[in-house]
Amino acid sequence: MMRRVLVAMCVALALSAGRAAATDRASEQKLDTALRARARAAQAPGAPWTTSRVIVRTVDGTPARDLIAAANGVSGRFFAWLGGQVARVPDATLEWLASQPEIAGLSLDRAVSGTLQNAASSVGARWVAERLGFDGKGVGVATIDSGVAGWHDDLDGRVAHFADFVGGQTGAYDDYGHGTHVAGIIAGSGRDSDGLRRGLAPGAHLVVLKALDTAGNGYTSNVIAAIDYAIAHRAAYNIRVINLSVAAGVYESYLKDPLTLAAKRAVDAGIVVVAAAGNNGRRNGEPEYGGIASPGNAPWVLTVGAVNEMGTDDRADDSVAGFSSRGSAIDRSAKPDLVAPGVGIESTAESSSALFAANPGSRLWGTTPTVTEPYLRLTGTSMSAPIVTAAIALMLEANPALTPNAIKAILQFTAEAHSGVDYLTQGAGFLNARGAVELARAFANSSSPWPLELTPDPVRWNRHIIWGRRRVPVPMLYAGANAWRLGVTWGDSRSANGEPIRWGIECPLSNEACSAQPGADPVLAIPGPTPGEVKR
């Protein structure tokens, strides 16, 4: 009898231990990889008392203030659309908080930072301005960065609105200087250089949303708040593009990451989100794959790597910059989407900023008398992203009806692919703003998709797009294809109503009787490392 009781007790204890282990595993799954590591470290004997800034998501989408308080945490802003509460929580209570049935997941409120010649001629933007007359007029561009020097001669009249998510100030300022450089690339007038260093879309107006501090750092929650602000004010300022020359670490799938999900909200609202790929393309002098930063790892974001123009306007000697982050992304989607100039880019400077003080050798004088040097020469995918953003502003002036997916497809289709460079390094190819604006104009006449009346382009279009993880050769894109509809995620195989995704024209280029065909175009695997070879 006693023996049976002891056996029963052992079985009960084993089952209890098993349930506890299962509970622990379930709780761990609610934490992203960074928070799991912090929670484990906090449990080690003699571990110091540490805290983490997190975003806590609830199952029913309501604020988690009471549970956060019970975990000895302090609550911050709440994102209703995400059901996510920003909080500062002790690392020792992370697992307990995750174990609560009301909690859907916790994400580290990650640090973000800026991802640090005139490229307009080499990408064809000057030709667009001089021959077609487009300069981005009427298009609103939101820059989420470190602010802007609104006093700068080149940016006079370019800033339509300013909002500060760091210091809460009302007047435009930029204590780091990164945002001012980005703003000049997009919409600078070039006034202090007699137009030589003007932006690619000087007619566009800027909505400047400050999310980085004086050191160029911030949190993903600040960037998310800025994205939400841009969505809420898109009609008032005709915001069609968001430029994110910032990068955050990737610790979870883009399907869970609050930052990538915020970007998706913007894209679903019809706003193109352009992000820098990051500067993680090399490790110990060798090419490194898998370094795409958030939110650029998401398929709905247009992710831009960097090109070295070698100081010339001739595209023939251009190459992908060694520092430019390569794909694939954490979910093995092919990234970047394309590459653009990002080495030695000359643009506007804020003379009282930290970036100006730290780069005395990069300062540049203009052609008009100024108290200090009005320009800086900087390098990074931070500079590549606004070049593409400005090209999009030109496209949208030419055809305001374009959707984010249509814009990405046109940019990829007209890009120039370089032989010997894999698609996880160059994306679909090198930016060709001239071709993109020409095709955007042709898309405006969607009732007659073939033949298109296009000016002969000296740049050879690669005539493919990278859809998800597939390279899709398309003889010609079709303006009415269902792939461009709002609500279709880049890479989907079917539309919301179950139709096969269509991209373009499937018959030979010489056949003028072409019609739109289902998405049965030849599909090739993306050259480059296999998933098992991608370094993390």
How many Å apart are CA 509 and CA 505, to the nearest integer?
9
**Which residues are bridge partners to 208 per DSSP?**
143, 162
- Structural tokens at position 245: 């020359």
- Structural tokens at position 137: 């007029």
CB 472, CB 521: distance < 8 Å: yes
Nearest CA to 404 among 320, 489, 307? 489
Three-class SS state of 347: strand
Cα distances from 255 to residues 63, 94, 97, 298, in angstroms, run: 21, 21, 21, 8
CB 271, CB 230: distance < 8 Å: yes
Q: If you compute the radius of gyration of the chain from its CA atoms, what whole number of angstroms results?
A: 25
Counts for the chain of helices (H) and strands (E), in that order: 15, 25
CB 192, CB 347: distance < 8 Å: no
Nearest CA to 301 among 344, 250, 349? 250
Q: Which of 145, 154, 164, 192 is flagged as catalytic?
A: 145
Q: Which amino acid is at 383?
A: M
Q: Which amino acid is at 437?
A: V
382 an active-site residue? yes
Residue 298 has what DSSP assignment? S
* Cα within 13 Å of Cα(228), Cβ side: 16
145 an active-site residue? yes
Q: Which of 382, 418, 464, 521 is flagged as catalytic?
A: 382
- Structural tokens at position 327: 């794909």
Scan for tokens 């995400």, then name that residue. Answer: 82
Nearest CA to 349 among 180, 159, 199? 180
Helix segments in 233-334, DSSP class H: 234-237, 258-268
How many Å apart are CA 445 and CA 453, to the nearest integer?
10
CB 378, CB 362: distance < 8 Å: yes
Scan for tokens 């690619």, then name that residue. Answer: 200
Length of the chain: 536
205-210 and 159-164 strand pairing:
parallel
Q: Which of 178, 181, 418, 464 is flagged as catalytic?
A: 178
Cα distances from 393 to residues 176, 204, 230, 416, 456, in angstroms, run: 25, 7, 16, 20, 22
Cα distances from 199 to residues 47, 203, 370, 436, 514, in angstroms, run: 52, 9, 19, 17, 39
Q: Locate the DSSP E strands across 22-100.
A: 51-58, 74-79, 84-90
Angle between helical axes of 433-443 and 381-398 (0-180°, round to 10) = 30
How many Å apart are CA 439 and CA 402, to the nearest integer?
11
152 an active-site residue? no
Greatest CA separation for the chain: 101
**Which residues are bridge partners to 273 per DSSP?**
242
Other Cβ atoms closer than 10 A to 172: 22
| Catalytic positions | 145, 178, 382
